Amino acid sequence: MNEEQVIIIGAGPCGLAAAIELQSIGLAPLVIEKRNVVHSITQYPINMHFFSSPELLEIADIPFTTANEKPSRLEALNYYRNVSLRRQVRIHAYETVKAVAALESGGFELHTMDRYGETIVYRAGTVIVATGYFDHPNRLGIPGEEMDKVSHFFHESHPYTGMRVAIIGGSNSAIDAALELERVGAQVTVVYRGASYSPSIKPWVRPSFESLVNKERIGMRFSSRIIEVGQRTVTIEGPPGTQLEHLPNDFVLAMTGFHPDRAFLISIGVTIEPEGYPTFNDSTMETNIPGVYLAGVVASRREANEIFIETGRFHGRKIAAHLMKLGQN
């Protein structure tokens, strides 16, 4: 049996920030991460730059320096990796938490599985869930979605050179992917349910995208959705009164967003409010289960992107203050 004071589930930026905040009050939390440190950022497109400025991504009072106005994915990976090493955060990578159960005597028992399939049992007085959302894409629920040609992730454009690619969505992720794909010679069609361009598109990107659409170098389908994916085509349902379009297609990128793992929270005993988000105290981040806290996007209410690194990085500070008040330092 492995005894711990605090276990944090998830080594994303918000989980790391929480660990370092707890270190500052004398605790030595263990972070358990089913993949690698800041795995979510490794899922971003290779050439992506953050919307946020570097100071809004900082944790542990360690400056995030960059020569660019907006930091890149690679710079973020270097930054968070180095922060975790410099602050000597205890991290068990490639270990998956399978179950968390409250003990009658107090605290929690956690069962995990390591990369070799071995089960490990822990006991901890406090559990912080900082699991993010990148493992749970928003599914379309349409025929053909399970095909290999459909992906909810876009990493780089090169594999799509010369291919006919349909992109579902109209947010920044969809627009950025379309621009990269067009540059490598892909035939791109963006299918968006909105009637016009999304107001969330980065203002320095939108003119370039609109120009390519106007020149018909990128196809744009407003007020539309893909209702079926076939081996060689996609079927697009357009505005009312229009006929179905059967568009030749090689690949589909479903940039439809992600959602936190609510099922895992429910398995722990965390209740879900009628609006669909977990029960927790805004001031302390503690859930309805005493000793179970939330950090990062898992605490989002309406949209997963309402909590990002720049806001979720402070959740650990609230948790640390509450544990101090309870005398657990």
Mean pLDDT per 10-residue section of the chain, whose length is 329 residues:
94 96 96 95 88 89 89 95 97 97 94 97 97 83 96 94 97 94 97 94 92 97 97 96 96 90 91 89 96 92 62 92 83
Neighbours of 316 (CB within 10 A): 30
In a domain, 131, yes or no: yes
Q: Under a CB-based contact definition with an 8 Å cutoff, are residues 187 and 163 in contact? A: yes
- Asked if residue 140 is part of any domain, the answer here is no
- Note the pTM of the prediction, 2 decimals: 0.87
Residues 87 and 123 occupy one common structural domain: yes
One domain, residues 10 and 61: yes
The pLDDT > 90 percentage for the chain reads 78
Dihedrals φ, ψ of 196, to 5°? -150, 180
Question: Do 125 and 157 fall within a single domain?
Answer: no
Same domain, 246 and 301: no
Q: What is the DSSP letter of 59?
A: -
E strands within 11-93? Answer: 30-33, 90-93
Q: Do residue 248 and residue 264 come from a single domain?
A: no
Which letter does DSSP use for residue 304 in this model?
G
Choose one of 254, 289, 311: the last residue of a domain.
254
- pLDDT for 138 equals 87
Q: Say if 110 falls within a structural domain.
A: yes
The whole-number pLDDT of residue 165 equals 98
145 inside domain: no
154 and 60 within one domain: no
Do 10 and 129 sit in the same domain of this protein? yes
What confidence tens digit (pLDDT) does each residue in 275-315 have?
878 999 999 999 999 999 999 989 887 655 545 787 888 99
The range of the structural domain enclosing residue 240 comes to: 150-254
Q: What pLDDT does 329 receive?
A: 57
201 and 225 in a single domain? The answer is yes
Q: Domain boundary residue among 223, 254, 285? A: 254
Average pLDDT, whole number, for the chain? 93
* Residue 22 placed within a domain: yes
- Asked if residue 243 is part of any domain, the answer here is yes
CATH of the domain at 188: 3.50.50.60
For residue 142, is it within any domain? no
pLDDT digits (tens, 9 = 90+) for 167-202: 999 999 999 999 999 999 999 999 999 999 999 898
Q: 160 and 109 in one domain? A: no
Residues 250 and 276 in one domain: no
Last residue of a domain, one of 199, 223, 254: 254
Name the β-bridge partners of 187: 164
The verdict on 296 and 239 lying in the same domain is no
Cβ(103)–Cβ(109) under 8 Å? yes
Does the residue 111 lie in any domain?
A: yes
3-state secondary structure 158-212: HHHCCCEEEEECCCHHHHHHHHHHHHCCCEEEEECCCCCCCCCCCCCCHHHHHHH
**Same domain as 39, residue 16:** yes
pLDDT at 48: 87
How many domains, in total, are found in the chain? Answer: 2
Q: pLDDT at position 306, please?
A: 47
